[in-house]
Amino acid sequence: MSTARWWKDVRVRTLILVNVAAIVERADESLLPAVYNEVGRAFHASPKDLGALTLVRALVQALVCPLSPWLSLYMPRVHIIASGALIWGLATLAVGLATSYRQVAWLRGLNGIGLALVFPPIQSLIADLASPTNRGVAFGWLQFMTYFGDILGYSIGITLAGIPARTIAILFGFGMDGWRMAFLVVAAISLLLAAFISLFAQDSPRQFLIEDLSNEDARRRCLDVDSLADSCIDGSDPSSATQPLLFPSHATSPKPTSPASTPSTSTSSKAPYQPSTHTPSPVLSPTTPSSPSSPHSSPLSSPHHPPPSSPSFLSDLSHVLRTPSFLIIVAQGIVGSFAWASLTFLPMWLELVGFSHPSTALLLSSFTASCSFGGLFAGWFGDWMSATWRDSGRVICAQISAGSAVVMSTVLLRVVPQDTRFFWVYFCVLVLMGFLISWNDAASNNPIFADIVPERLRTDIYALDRAFEMSVAAFAPPTVGFLAQAWFGFQPSHPASPPAAAPAAAPTAPPASPAPPFAPPSPPSAADPQNAKALSLGLFWTMAAPFALCCALYGGLYWTYPKDRDKALAEAAEEARKGQQHHKEIQVVS
């Protein structure tokens, strides 16, 4: 009974589906790195070639990201998320059936288009539903979910990659490499998710708030324009002007009102909550009839929602790009994302050290799980630090995390012996490392982004940040591969003549005929110390130095963040006043 009640709540249902989308999106991103070793042997690809696959996907993702806020002007954000899930699901399905390296490269580019459309609307929805005083916790939960997606992707990839094709043939009736089966599983989950979001999620959170609350509750919980404007003038804390919409700090929440007490057709009760002209139009609830003014009217063509124009969209992007705090966070994000992207070679390195597929899966799952809990802790800690030191608390959190990343990457890659007998040392180092280096997004970056621009620009700022960071981070995997091969002596495997022990594996495929597309590759060696050392050196130089620079760049926010935050609050107050005045003029005309 309780389950049916929360499922009928549109806000709760949409939040659940949005977080599931974040999980599956990250699972799809981490799937290919989890099976680098198997894909490399299947297509005779070197580390540089494998890094190029991630480069193609990430570059396309970076180029398409700015399309997401433009689409949000014309369609609900949940529809954008569903479309992205459909695209990446079909591309992932095709990768599992690909027969050449070139096909995989093209399909990873298509995969990047779908992934690019999804995350900025997710972040925008979360920012809209959270109050300034609890925004860190909201993004902490989102980060917790995304890292759970990493665990899911790595676990599916590494676990299924270790299953022989013969076993899959016995279980399912057709022979296929385990890594291919992993892509098919994630593709099926993605397509199912796209269908669920299309059917059950709705936009916008502001519309949900209007429809679900009585007039008194709505007036109490929504933005008080006058108090916000006064707080911007007298310097008091403007966050007190709003009440939490998500993750409230108080113990009790307002009781839901009966449908009879909720206005359904009155436009005056909705007037204070109309978004600005650049905000995505909300999808009307099934219980709320559309305006009777015109049988063919749509939200985008109504007086409340004038159709957006390209010049206004470009001016919004220009506004974001002129914000100093945004430029600083993007600069450190470009450097930091380069280091994080290098971690895509972590599964391959652990396998070269000699760890088995189950051991590698356990180590990576532990690392990503600790990242999840680190982000969750960081969200709370960032909110507490922000309440204690309003102008510098979130910046301090970011510098602690970035500095810890330098130390922990040095310990992991240069101090711990590369020997499988030190499994539990690797386990402890990876758990501590994951907990400490995962603070920045939840504690600092995402809450600061929501503070330094008006609400209508949140999708824009998250999309631009993702585009800039990914455009440079895309080069991290090829750089790791280049350093490992050119500088540190990594020797990739080549399709040379099979070794002397090959006859033992001959029954798996007819010796007289060429290998079919889904034939299992030759089994890997237990360990490769030389290549493991070379790859660890490549990882070290693409992680420790960028994290150190990242820590230094955060220092600029001590000067820019307070000014940008107060400026955004003043702009929001002015836009809200204009919105109220515009609605009063419409009432007079009608």
Q: What is the pLDDT of residue 130?
A: 67
> What are the two backbone dihedrals, phi and then psi, of residue 97, each rounded to the nearest 5 degrees?
-105, 0
Q: What is the pLDDT of residue 230?
A: 44
Residue 384: both structure tokens together: 């507490």
Q: What is the pLDDT of residue 231?
A: 43
Whether the pLDDT of residue 271 is over 70: the answer is no
Q: What is the pLDDT of residue 304?
A: 38
Task: Determine the average pLDDT of the residues in 548-562.
Answer: 92
The answer to whether the CB of 36 falls within 8 A of the CB of 29 is no
Question: Long-range pairs for 283-288 at CB < 8 Å and ≥24 separation?
Answer: 283/76, 283/78, 283/202, 283/203, 283/204, 283/207, 284/207, 285/10, 285/202, 285/207, 285/208, 285/211, 287/211, 287/259, 288/211, 288/264
Between 435 and 310, the more confident residue is 435
Between 253 and 143, the more confident residue is 143
Q: What is the pLDDT of residue 233?
A: 37
Task: Determine the average pLDDT of the residues in 161-168.
Answer: 78
pLDDT band (50, 70, 90) for residue 70: confident
Whether the pLDDT of residue 542 is over 80: the answer is yes
Whether the pLDDT of residue 100 is over 60: the answer is yes
Whether the pLDDT of residue 1 is over 70: the answer is no
**pLDDT 10s digits, 397-456:** 999 999 999 999 999 999 999 888 999 999 999 999 999 998 988 888 888 988 888 777
Q: What whole-number percentage of the chain has pLDDT above 90?
A: 18
Residue 228: both structure tokens together: 């916000």
Count the Cβ atoms, other than its own, within 10 Å of residue 552: 13
CA distance 205 to 215: 17
Q: What is the pLDDT of residue 590?
A: 60
Task: Determine the average pLDDT of the residues in 51-63.
Answer: 82
Between 518 and 135, the more confident residue is 135
Whether the pLDDT of residue 503 is over 80: the answer is no
Q: What number does CATH give the domain 2-204+316-491+523-568? A: 1.20.1250.20
Task: Determine the average pLDDT of the residues in 254-266.
Answer: 38
The answer to whether the CB of 470 falls within 8 A of the CB of 333 is no
| Maximum mean pLDDT: which of 285-289, 365-369, 392-396, 523-527 | 392-396
Q: What is the pLDDT of residue 251?
A: 34
Task: Determine the average pLDDT of the residues in 491-497.
Answer: 52
Gyration radius of the chain's alpha carbons = 26
Q: What is the pLDDT of residue 134?
A: 74
On the 0-12 / 13-18 / 19+ scale of CB atoms within 10 A, 422 is: middle
Task: Determine the average pLDDT of the residues in 456-475.
Answer: 74
The answer to whether the CB of 43 falls within 8 A of the CB of 101 is yes
Q: Which residues contact 545 (CB under 8 A, 6 or more apart)?
A: none
Whether the pLDDT of residue 381 is over 80: the answer is yes
- Between the alpha carbon of residue 407 and those of residues 10, 252, 410, 540, the distances in Å are 45, 43, 5, 11
Q: Which residues contact 171 (CB under 8 A, 6 or more apart)?
A: none
What is this structure's pTM? 0.60
pLDDT band (50, 70, 90) for residue 5: low
The answer to whether the CB of 97 falls within 8 A of the CB of 431 is no
**pLDDT 10s digits, 101-137:** 999 999 999 988 988 888 888 888 877 766 677 777 7
Q: What is the pLDDT of residue 492?
A: 64
DSSP 505: G
Task: Determine the average pLDDT of the residues in 549-566.
Answer: 91
